[in-house]
Amino acid sequence: MGDYDEFAMLHENATEVGLAFEQPTVERRWIDAPSGNRLSALVWGDSPAELVFLHGGAQNAHTWDTVALALGRPMVAIDLPGHGHSDWRTDGDYRPQAMAADVAAVTEALAPDATTLVGMSLGGLTALTTMATTTGLADRLVLVDITPGVNQEKAAEIKAFVDGPPEFESFDALLERTMAFNPTRSRSSLRRGVLHNAREREDGTWVWRYDQLGDRLLDLDTQFLDLWDAVSALTVPVTLVQGGLSPVVDDDDVAELRRRRPDATVVVVDAAGHSIQGDQPVELAAILADLTPTRTA
């Protein structure tokens, strides 16, 4: 596939959603985390970061590219352990509770003045855990289509994709499988996503950049239920942005969130599935802009 330039495709992100494009200031950084692993992140803008983003399982920091372009604010998007360019954990433990300390350290290093922590899916539960256990990390939490009520049934389609083959004979084979699981997304957007989330080996086969857990997969029916207590422990405002077409968050989840946090805000993005940042990135950026006023000098 030739040399991979991870920032050379940003103009495609902008064009696809009708944004005017000017090459942004964005760079990749690495931080040594408490676990002994190195975590990687994309740092957007020249000013102190106002927002920190955590992607979902089997994704990476580039999932937020279009949101970043639409938002136009200084921000940091972190590659979770075992994803993107971050180190894989030797213990294979990707529970939010295991990753929270590393996420807190990267946030404190790259975005010490952040006002908002945004997390989608596994990244949302990790953001929740991090905020509940680290005082003063940010002023608010935004959960993107996730609550601790997620289970095997709700996440069945996602797991079916993530649990797929560990390698592919060609880039096209990997892309075709990705398109089959994302029929509403354009081929160009999925091609970019695969280029960011996979790599070619010397023999010409392709593998994902994320750690496929195999028999170490999380038990979604029991793994996250105790994180409802983390919701109760939060001392900052929490907003849930729910995909109107997604099965991952249901009415019972919203009711439990509001029972534990009567002040919680719930915003539904009607024309979005689980990956709201991919389906409706401009609308998500507008929601985040309303939640996070621009910092004044």
> Which residue numbers are catalytic?
121, 145, 274
Nearest to 238 by CA among 130, 139, 129: 139
From CA 125, how far away is CA 23, in angstroms rounded? 32
Query: For strand 75-78 and strand 51-54, is the pairing parallel, antiparallel, or unpaired?
Result: parallel
Hey, how many other C-beta atoms are within 10 angstroms of the C-beta on 263? 7
Beta pairing, strands 238-243 & 265-269: parallel
Helix axes 171-181, 187-197, angle to 10 degrees: 120
CA distance 270 to 283: 10
Q: What is the DSSP letter of 61?
A: G
Report the Cα–Cα distance between both ends of the chain, in Å, rounded: 45
Helices 122-133, 96-110: crossing angle, 10 deg rounding:
70
Task: Give dist(CA 249, CA 224) in Å, integer.
Answer: 13
Q: How far apart are CA 94 and CA 211, in angstroms?
A: 9
Query: CB pairs under 8 A, 24+ apart, for 220-225?
Result: 220/150, 220/151, 220/152, 220/154, 220/155, 220/159, 221/151, 221/152, 223/95, 224/96, 224/125, 224/148, 224/149, 224/150, 225/148, 225/149
The residue type found at 5 is: D
Nearest to 32 by CA among 101, 93, 83: 101
